[in-house]
Structure 1
Amino acid sequence: MAGTAVDPAVQRRILRVLVVSQVLSGAGLAAGITVGALLAQEMLGSTGLAGLPSALFTAGSAVAAIAVSRISAARGRRPGLAAGYATGAVGSAGVIAAAALDSPVLLFAALFVYGAGTATNLQARYAGADLAAPGHRARAVSTVLVATTLGGVLGPNLAAPTGDLAAALGLPRLAGPFLLAGAAYAAAALVLAARLRPDPLLLARATATDGPATTEDVPADPAAARIRNRVLLGAQVMVVTQLVMVAVMTMTPVHMHDHGHGTAASGLVIALHVAAMYLPSPLTGRLVDRRGPLLVGAAAGLTLLAAGLVAALAPADSVALLALALALLGLGWNFGLVSGTAIITDAAPLATRARTQGAVDVAIAVSGTTGGLASGAVVDLAGYPVLALGGGLLALAVLPALATTATRTRR
């Protein structure tokens, strides 16, 4: 039965806490993206394996997504998110140790653990929607996502200064951004553990049922089929956009490095990419709430196609065109994430929402792992333009399912 409406001031406070944590975690997330592939390339001496770091920390994020969602389902968002960021901080420390010891085995293990920060950064968007009204959920999700922009833009641009700090400490320069990542993830964990009260998921359950939700409502078969189809649709949109984004993003710094560009140039391109991933979120959320997630999901596929075309045709010495391609790549990913999240959040029953969201994020992480693993091999065998163009064409796979669902909805 319906419960008492949640005080809007509580939702605003929860969003403020989530915003602070996302600013911090965004710095940790983007720092690792900027130099992870370069660090592996330097330690392994192989471009073909340069996509392995991205694959490892996205694989780690898959495991972490399961853990964070289970903790959240049982005990609430606060302990789940705080534990995830704390684990990401531990992984960052492991990467620094691996670089200092020149140990590829330790590097791979640490990157796997570091992936917990990536999973938690994504799972935090669901916490923003727990108490939001149905017509404002996409905007609540976008508020949490856009907060990642500040840290995400700051992190890559601190690659050179943190590299100087690492060198001063006697560490490899490429370990520097992971110093920032470890501190940022640890701070995000502390903010959530101390300030995310009341817990949004637990309060949403209590408000919806006038008491804690302890049993699952089992819908009738037609309703269950509709829920399943909508969840699968939202998952497909996010899985495809994640795979394409990770594959192209991972190899762009390597592509630039191989053509004479320095860390500062690749850091700038990745910073613009991360900004495009998160900065448009308020507009995207408003579009989803007003025009529906199906239209925005279709825009994701078309935007990623444009990104692939620009990246494939851009001269290797053109930082401006590569930056444009990566900005379009980030924007397409943003369209896919916000629209897919809205589809799933609207479809999943509250009693099972956290577990459903966690399962979907596992699929997203696995797709990112696939993209990261395949990207280095594709570039090694066929070149960066083939990777970029292939990713853009693959993004069109979301369009048929979206068109079919739109047709069914109209009928």
Structure 2
Amino acid sequence: MSTTQDISPNPWQEQSRVRAVQKRTVRVLSAAQIVGGVGVGVSVSVGPLLAESVARSETYAGLARTATTVGAAAVGIPLALMAQRRGRRTSLGTGWLMAAAGGALLVVSAVYRSIPVLIMGMLLFGVGSATNQQSRYAAADLAVPQQRAQALSVVLWSTTIGSVIGPNLAGPGAAVASALHLPRLAGAFVLATVCTAAASALLWGLLRPDPLALSRRFQDTEECLEEGATSPTSRVDTLPQGKEPRTGALRAGVRHLRRTPLAAFAFVTVVVAHTVMAAVMTMTPVTMSEHGDGLTVVGVTISGHLLGMYAFSPLVGRLSDRIGHLPTIVAGQAVFLVAAALSGMSHGSVGMMMAGMFLLGLGWSFSLVAGSALLSETTPAGLRPGVQGTTDTAMNIVAALGAGLAGPLMGWAGFGVLNAVAAVLVLPVLAFWALLVRAR
């Protein structure tokens, strides 16, 4: 007679398989992030300038960023639910494909100077930002808990290459535009469309087996071995086979955020960090252009900012796993305050602006890596997809409001006041942290 042990996979073999798939998953995600990051980087530096050129208004520079962020916010929860139902490959591959469609529309908007097409293109292109953000969760699906921050930070780091290249494609894009007889700024989005489509193709073709589906079958293999289980099937899906997540799961996730102070703190950290970064970064190319800085200088400045966002994320992830997520988050808020002081008092100084923008990105890295890891750590496995999607949606909605208000605020009071407001936004995170420390 066959026993359960006879027909069940060897737990050591399953552990080895999960680790091998995790390594492959991180490599594929990293490759897609590099290619797709080029497209996202183009939108950061050239997007506001394209919007200002099409609409002939400084206000529309902020509206462009708002539309991109709204697009990212609109698909945060749908992408999470798509991942829950059909896996990360379908969710992320579809997201990058929608971004490619948005890039094509932006080229059309430049040709015909159409504001509605511009806004629609920015909305769809924003899906690329949401896809970029949710890739970090895919990297953590199969990671052991003690290395979760480091795993998601590696995928964030891989965005560095594309993000540094992307903002500097204005020059090559102009050459492409000239060859295709397009407006000068449209050429960069031709390149962005190609890059985001390539990222989609990479994920559709190579992200196999799907990390989320495999994590449901063999999650917590290490714990199974420690407990002496004969098979990882003792820790299989929290959802029955064939069952799909419902909106009730999202409501349960929101209740969890309300009832769990540490999870709520992680939520607030991620939302505030993304808002501060989006508001200041949106208007940086515009204010530098007003001071007479050329596209090359603007591109280098934004590249430095993106370098701060992504290049040091593996070190940030390792630091967060070692000293704790809370101290890492607090350090990020301190970096934000220094960044706001430097950028706000730059008064046309390229050096101070570059330093401030680099630190703005670094503060975002500290906050997002540690905040995302803390959110996963304090949320039960069955609620994570809904909570992750809710967090990404909230951070993009609030950031969209911040970016939309940044243009009128800078037009009314200047870039210095915009940075002062950004510094004030950091204070609730520090106040929340103080309450947690007192409660402990």
Is 1:299 matched with 2:331?
yes
Query: Which residue of the partner structure matches residue 366 of structure 2?
Result: 335
* Letter paired with 2:282: T
1:225–1:7 distance in 2 versus 1, CA, 3 Å:
closer
Q: Deviations over 1:342-392 (max 9, x none)?
A: 111112222221121011100011122011101101011101111012212
Query: Which residue of the partner structure matches residue 194 of structure 1?
Result: 205
SS for the counterpart of 2:61 is: coil
Conservation of the 8 A alpha-carbon contact between 1:227 and 1:348: no
Is 1:214 matched with 2:246?
no
CA distance in 2, matches of 1:78, 1:186: 14
Query: Which residue of the partner structure matches residue 261 of structure 1?
Result: 293
Is 1:271 matched with 2:313?
no
Conservation of the 8 A alpha-carbon contact between 2:55 and 2:113: no
Is 1:178 matched with 2:189?
yes
Conservation of the 8 A alpha-carbon contact between 1:297 and 1:402: no
Q: Please report how far the alpha carbon of residue 230 of structure 1 lies from its aligned counterpart in structure 2 after TM superposition.
A: 2.7
Query: Which residue of the partner structure matches residue 347 of structure 2?
Result: 315
CA distance in 1, matches of 2:174, 2:280: 24
1:225–1:41 distance in 2 versus 1, CA, 3 Å:
closer
Q: Please report how far the alpha carbon of residue 167 of structure 1 lies from its aligned counterpart in structure 2 after TM superposition.
A: 2.5
SS for the counterpart of 1:127 is: helix
Is 1:44 matched with 2:55?
yes
* Letter paired with 1:398: V
Aligned positions, number: 403
1:381–1:225 distance in 2 versus 1, CA, 3 Å:
closer
Q: Please report how far the alpha carbon of residue 403 of structure 1 lies from its aligned counterpart in structure 2 after TM superposition.
A: 2.6
CA distance in 2, matches of 1:283, 1:167: 42
Q: Bigger shift: 264-273 or 4-13?
A: 4-13
Please show how residues 232-251 of structure 1 align to structure 2 within 5 Å.
Answer: 232-251=264-283
CA distance in 1, matches of 2:420, 2:258: 34
SS for the counterpart of 1:145 is: helix
Is 1:387 matched with 2:418?
yes
Which structure's CA Rg is the greater one?
2
- Superposed CA RMSD in Å reads 1.9
Conservation of the 8 A alpha-carbon contact between 2:410 and 2:418: yes
Q: Deviations over 1:85-122 (max 9, x none)?
A: 10000000010011111101110111111110000000
SS for the counterpart of 1:22 is: helix
Q: Please report how far the alpha carbon of residue 224 of structure 1 lies from its aligned counterpart in structure 2 after TM superposition.
A: 5.3
Query: Which residue of the partner structure matches residue 427 of structure 2?
Result: 396
Is 1:64 matched with 2:75?
yes
CA distance in 1, matches of 2:178, 2:338: 39
SS for the counterpart of 2:260 is: helix
Q: Deviations over 1:161-194 (max 9, x none)?
A: 1122113212111112211211111111111111
1:224–1:103 distance in 2 versus 1, CA, 3 Å:
closer
Query: Which residue of the partner structure matches residue 408 of structure 2?
Result: 377
| Aligned mate of 1:345, from 376, 386, 394 | 376
SS for the counterpart of 1:173 is: coil
| Aligned mate of 2:357, from 326, 330, 342 | 326
Conservation of the 8 A alpha-carbon contact between 1:241 and 1:333: yes
Q: Please report how far the alpha carbon of residue 78 of structure 1 lies from its aligned counterpart in structure 2 after TM superposition.
A: 0.8
* Letter paired with 2:435: T
Q: Bigger shift: 329-338 or 392-401?
A: 392-401
Q: Bigger shift: 110-119 or 386-395?
A: 386-395
SS for the counterpart of 1:235 is: helix
Q: Report the TM-score when normalising by structure 1.
A: 0.94
1:278–1:105 distance in 2 versus 1, CA, 3 Å:
same
Q: Deviations over 1:259-303 (max 9, x none)?
A: 111111101100110111000101100111001111111111111
CA distance in 2, matches of 1:370, 1:178: 25
Conservation of the 8 A alpha-carbon contact between 1:231 and 1:347: yes
CA distance in 2, matches of 1:295, 1:7: 31
CA distance in 1, matches of 2:390, 2:347: 40
Q: Please report how far the alpha carbon of residue 58 of structure 1 lies from its aligned counterpart in structure 2 after TM superposition.
A: 0.4
Q: Deviations over 1:190-217 (max 9, x none)?
A: 1111111111111111113724442599
| Aligned mate of 1:11, from 14, 22, 25 | 22
CA distance in 2, matches of 1:336, 1:177: 30
CA distance in 2, matches of 1:226, 1:405: 14
Query: Which residue of the partner structure matches residue 227 of structure 2?
Result: none
| Aligned mate of 1:119, from 101, 118, 130 | 130
Q: Please report how far the alpha carbon of residue 226 of structure 1 lies from its aligned counterpart in structure 2 after TM superposition.
A: 8.4
Please show how residues 86-101 of structure 1 align to structure 2 within 5 Å.
Answer: 86-101=97-112
CA distance in 1, matches of 2:259, 2:137: 18
Q: Please report how far the alpha carbon of residue 309 of structure 1 lies from its aligned counterpart in structure 2 after TM superposition.
A: 0.5
CA distance in 1, matches of 2:398, 2:21: 35
Percent identical pairs in the alignment equals: 39
* Letter paired with 2:19: P
CA distance in 1, matches of 2:353, 2:376: 34
Q: Please report how far the alpha carbon of residue 229 of structure 1 lies from its aligned counterpart in structure 2 after TM superposition.
A: 2.7
* Letter paired with 1:304: F
* Letter paired with 1:214: L
Q: Please report how far the alpha carbon of residue 407 of structure 1 lies from its aligned counterpart in structure 2 after TM superposition.
A: 4.0
Conservation of the 8 A alpha-carbon contact between 2:257 and 2:263: no
* Letter paired with 1:351: G
Q: Deviations over 1:314-353 (max 9, x none)?
A: 121x222111110000000111100110111112222221
